[in-house]
Structure 1
Amino acid sequence: MTTTSERHVQDPATLRAAMVSELREDTITSESVAAAFSVVPRHLFAPDEPLEAVYDANTPLVTKTGPDGTALSSVSAAHIQAVMLEQAEIEPGMRVLEIGSGGYNAALIAELVGPDGSVTSVDIDPDIVARARACLRAAGYEQVRTVQTDAEYGVPEHAPYDRIIVTVGAWDIPPAWIDQLSVRGRIVVPLRFAGLTRCVAFDYFESGLVSRSYCLGGFVPMQGEGTFTETLVPINGDATLRLDGPDPGFDVPALRKAIHGPRIEQWSGAAFDLPDELELFVVTSAPQVPFLYASQRLVDQGVFTPAVTYGAAILVDGGSFAYRTKRENENTGGWESGVFAYGPQAEAVAVRYVELLRRWAAKYRRRGAALIEYIPTNPGGAAPTGWYAPKRHGVVAVSWP
């Protein structure tokens, strides 16, 4: 694989060709997407960045930060843009709405739809819209419409859209997005549910949206009416639970005591593989699975493994909890999954978690095993069967056929 460190020539065309070659190895499967990446001058959408960074397939380019240094807008990494464009399967002549304007992705879409298609790119931030317009003009893509408004309402004047591509993290899918889809429409959206974000390609059906594919992906969160703030439940100064829904009433004093009590471990005898798919299975196979975030200090003390500094999905039973871990085991293909558990009911919660690990390994150890649906609110309608997460405008339902 070609890496950035191996690229010494500072010619944009050479660097762009190397990036496309790398994307072809890992991500791009269609000639049309490869052709778009080959011709759009990415460096014109990040003129202040070093060319090496601009044409690194895995580097996002921050274009605006808040007072606290938090990224408010960015040109996404080329890798994730390629993934989402492959999910979208854009064809010449299509009408496409992009939610979240950086300019570069809109230019790629313009290449895909061709002269008979149309691209509308919307953002709530007037600075970002002005920047996108200037970059698109400099790169020769003035045909792209850039609109400054709250994307919660879409852009009805240019609807219907055959594709809606969302390049900001969304907690819900507003009714306007679905209403503005054509009958052959598809929404590709980084959707947050159960504490996770997955880039989901939803196809339109009369009953709602049904996933065609999904994958990992992280984006700056949506602003405006679509803003959502996760729930934080501090356990102590070094550990916090995070979840999307309301606090169900965790026994914080008991959990605080459990953290510093004895720990047990149980091993599943099953392979540890595809951790993102396994995590999705765990959080959608049990009610109210929060994520535990803990400090490096607790890791250094041996209380937790380093995984908790990035967030670990835990099962909670009163004042007891368990989270997933792994160890080397040649008999399971290299790694074996297991759990560490804490508290007076540690053994019971560990058994429950290990059962989930075994079930996933036996039945769902592959990419794309889940079916993700978005069902708009239907007053008086029955709740979905299986796991689902209520949203403002509907529910996300996840099943494992």
Structure 2
Amino acid sequence: MTNESTREQGRTEQQLRDDLAQKLIEFGAARSPGVVTAFRNVRRHLATPEVDMARTYDAEFAAITKTDEHGVDISSVSAPRVQAMQMEQADLAPGMTVLEIGSGGPNAANLAEVVGENGHVVTVDIDPEVTDRATRFLKATGYQNVTVLTADAEHGAPEHAPFDRIIVTVQAADIPPEWTAQLKDGGRLVVPLRMRGLTRTVALVRDGDRLVSDGVELCGFVPMQGLGENRVRLAVLHDVEGEEVGLRLDGHPEPDTDALAKALITPPNKAWSGVTLGGSESNEHLDMWLTTELDNLPLLAAKPGARQRGLVASASPLGIPTLVDGDSFAYRTVRATDEDDRYELGAIGHGPHGQQLAERLVEEIRTWDRDHRGDRAHIEVYPAGTPDDRLPADGRRIERRHSRVTITWP
């Protein structure tokens, strides 16, 4: 390759990085100078040489690097937008010591850029293939203030603790006590926490033995492996290939799948709330409200073919909150309004009690709109075994092996 070709490639690569940084600023994902500079500097495409270079600098592109024997994604390089969002939630500063749980390479490099030469990043993953890839990437890109560990991150990295920040890049259903113990008091843990099926990346500040939320964002991550693995289970209601419909269960009561499968093919019952959303307005806080208030609310997952056939009105890869009661269910939906780019929230029910369940969902949608539309859920995490009188008196409690998670609203 000639020197001129080399210079041309360098200009193209730098332009891709600059364009990515600008896009992250426009999205509001990257706000601080350190985070913006990190994305301008890190050569993230070297972590996934099998992927087209320009694709790796797409703000929304997550590169899947490994799947299990069932085809489930178990390792990835997260999308730049999500990485930037978590970095901003962490409130990083030069000189900090940071633990990253779930390695990929580029995110550790981003963190190393922000904490600088006087800071240190420890990145840990259970899979040696993943850590080997991360090690090669960090060597190729010259980041020397990063330590790569192959271990079950359930135990953190005690030999490198305490940490100013811990950033988890895999979905977690629980908070192991080691994570809290290895975090400095006042330090921040940023974790994609799954709560009754819904995953949100939560910034938690350590206050003694409890963690208190200071920011909640929508996200999607591959699940935790090892001792902390606790995957959602799918209860199948319709299993025709390409039209599959099921309920994602995360501590929810065992459903009567036969009765619900029969309900699925009955005529729908609809109820509308009069509450509208703009086309670009997220329903993530509404869904968190619904899962806080309603007891049996798993997520309805459906393939696009099920929607095309008319079995369901909505199909979301993340799942749709669905109220279940015995032989009937109702799920959240929307319809267009006369106003441009606005949609009315409602519910569709199936089964003998489908209409009542749809109206119950609509009632909670109206309550959210009236009392909590501008609010965000407040999340606290306490050690398992914490007495009830130390927990917030109202809201939703989620019991895990290591922790008691509470969700409350202003």
Q: Does 1:315 align with 2:323?
A: yes
- What is the Cα deviation at residue 146 of structure 1? 0.7
The residue type equivalent to 1:337 in the other structure is: L
Q: Which residue of 2 aligns with 1:365?
A: 373
Q: Which residue of 1 aligns with 2:399?
A: 390
Of 374, 385, 407, 1:378 maps to 385
SS at match of 1:307: coil
Query: Hey, which bits of structure 1, 4+ residues long, moved more than 6 A?
Result: none
SS at match of 1:178: helix
Q: Which residue of 2 aligns with 1:3?
A: none
Write out per-residue CA displacement over residues 274-305 of structure 1, whole angstroms, 9 at most, x where no aligned residue.
Answer: 21221111112111211122344442332311
Q: Which residue of 2 aligns with 1:22?
A: 23
Larger deviation, residues 87-96 vs 263-272: 263-272
Contact 1:93 1:115 in 2 (8 A): yes
The residue type equivalent to 2:76 in the other structure is: S
Contact 1:9 1:15 in 2 (8 A): no
- What is the Cα deviation at residue 85 of structure 1? 0.3
SS at match of 1:191: strand
SS at match of 1:44: helix
Equivalenced residue count is 392
Larger deviation, residues 132-141 vs 224-233: 224-233
SS at match of 2:293: coil
Larger deviation, residues 42-51 vs 327-336: 327-336
In structure 2, distance between residues paired with 1:308 and 1:24: 27
Of 178, 181, 186, 1:179 maps to 181
Q: Does 1:263 align with 2:265?
A: no
Write out per-residue CA displacement over residues 212-261 of structure 1, whole angstroms, 9 at most, x where no aligned residue.
Answer: 00111111111110111223323343432211115x24333332222222
TM-score (norm 2): 0.90
In structure 1, distance between residues paired with 2:65 and 2:37: 25
Of 51, 54, 64, 1:52 maps to 54
The residue type equivalent to 1:294 in the other structure is: A
SS at match of 2:355: helix
- What is the Cα deviation at residue 391 of structure 1? 0.9
In structure 1, distance between residues paired with 2:105 and 2:303: 38
- What is the Cα deviation at residue 364 of structure 1? 2.1
The residue type equivalent to 1:376 in the other structure is: P
Of 84, 87, 97, 1:85 maps to 87
In structure 2, relative to structure 1, the CA distance for the partners of 1:140 and 1:374 (3 Å cut) is same
Contact 2:86 2:201 in 1 (8 A): yes
Q: Does 1:64 align with 2:66?
A: yes
Of 221, 243, 246, 1:240 maps to 246
Q: Structure 1: which 5+ residue stretches go unaligned?
A: 1-7
In structure 2, relative to structure 1, the CA distance for the partners of 1:331 and 1:22 (3 Å cut) is closer
In structure 2, relative to structure 1, the CA distance for the partners of 1:39 and 1:325 (3 Å cut) is same
Q: Which residue of 2 aligns with 1:12?
A: 13
The residue type equivalent to 2:311 in the other structure is: V
RMSD: 2.1
TM-score (norm 1): 0.92
Contact 1:271 1:332 in 2 (8 A): no
In structure 2, distance between residues paired with 1:353 and 1:67: 38
Of 286, 297, 305, 2:294 maps to 286
Q: Structure 2: which 5+ residue stretches go unaligned?
A: 1-8
